[in-house]
Amino acid sequence: DAGITQSPRHKVTETGTPVTLRCHQTENHRYMYWYRQDPGHGLRLIHYSYGVKDTDKGEVSDGYSVSRSKTEDFLLTLESATSSQTSVYFCAIGDRVTEAFFGQGTRLTVV
Amino acid sequence: KNQVEQSPQSLIILEGKNCTLQCNYTVSPFSNLRWYKQDTGRGPVSLTIMTFSENTKSNGRYTATLDADTKQSSLHITASQLSDSASYICVVSDYGRGSTLGRLYFGRGTQLTVWP
């Protein structure tokens, strides 16, 4: 799994609660990404980072924020979870912007 | 608009048979094309990567082809096995322009089921 660890692997939370997903890498790659995967949509980019404290929005960033205070950690936060954010979330890393190695995913259910 | 289209959406074949999955893209300027395999409940794993100058790349029983002129790629699986049952995702990346970073464009995948 290219030295990527996502935590938690599964989470059930209630609507309106904050949720933070963590991605940890041991590869010292510059680029880190958060994707969500839903049936019929494939993988969609939420946010990405191109260095410590350097982040930018992807195509489905509304309702999500990220932080990267260290090279190895990239956090995804849902400030107030909604049912539409029920999904499988994947972290990916890359040494170049045109590559991505994926983690195992986090299955999030918002009830 | 940069897009990646895959066909078929799903495919069922018998163990031991060959199959070919298709990927058409409109991404420009083209950087590279990857095929990923995603087993159920797991993250995608890269099978092959091809740049503009490469037209064939093999990884065991998996052979990917690329026609950069027609912007088409295929993934051929030979002598299929039950473990080949998975989703196969085509991903195309572009080069950044100016201050914009390059990015990845994902197809929605082909769900392959191999029956014994």
pLDDT tens digits along A57-80 = 998 999 999 999 999 999 999 999
Contacts of B46 in chain A (CB under 8 A): 101
Tell me if B44 and A44 make a contact (CB, 8 A cut-off).
Answer: no
pLDDT at B102: 73
- If you ran DSSP here, which 8-state letter would residue B29 be given? S
Q: Are the beta carbons of A42 and B104 separated by less than 8 Å? A: no
The answer to whether A104 and A91 are in contact (CB under 8 A) is no
What count of residues does chain B have?
116
Give the per-residue pLDDT at B28: 87
Would you place residue B101 in the very low, low, confident or very high pLDDT band (cuts 50, 70, 90)? low
Contact call for A42 and B101, based on CB within 8 A? no
Average pLDDT over residues A83-102: 89
Q: What is the pLDDT of residues B49-89, one digit of tens each?
A: 998 889 999 999 999 999 999 999 999 999 999 999 999 99
pLDDT at position B94 is 85
Of the candidates A43, A50, A105, the beta carbon closest to that of B106 is on A43
> What does the pLDDT read at residue B97?
62
As a whole number, mean pLDDT of residues A32-48 equals 92
- B100 pLDDT band, cuts 50/70/90, is low
CB B30 within 8 A of CB B97: no
CA distance A12 to chain B (A): 17
CB pairs under 8 A between A and B: 47
- The pair of three-digit structure tokens given for residue B110, joined into one six-digit string: 């082909």
User: What does A2-71 look like in DSSP terms, one character per residue?
Assistant: TTEEEE-SEEEE-TT--EEEEEEESS--SEEEEEEEETTTEEEEEEEEEETTEEEE-TT-TTEEEEEEET
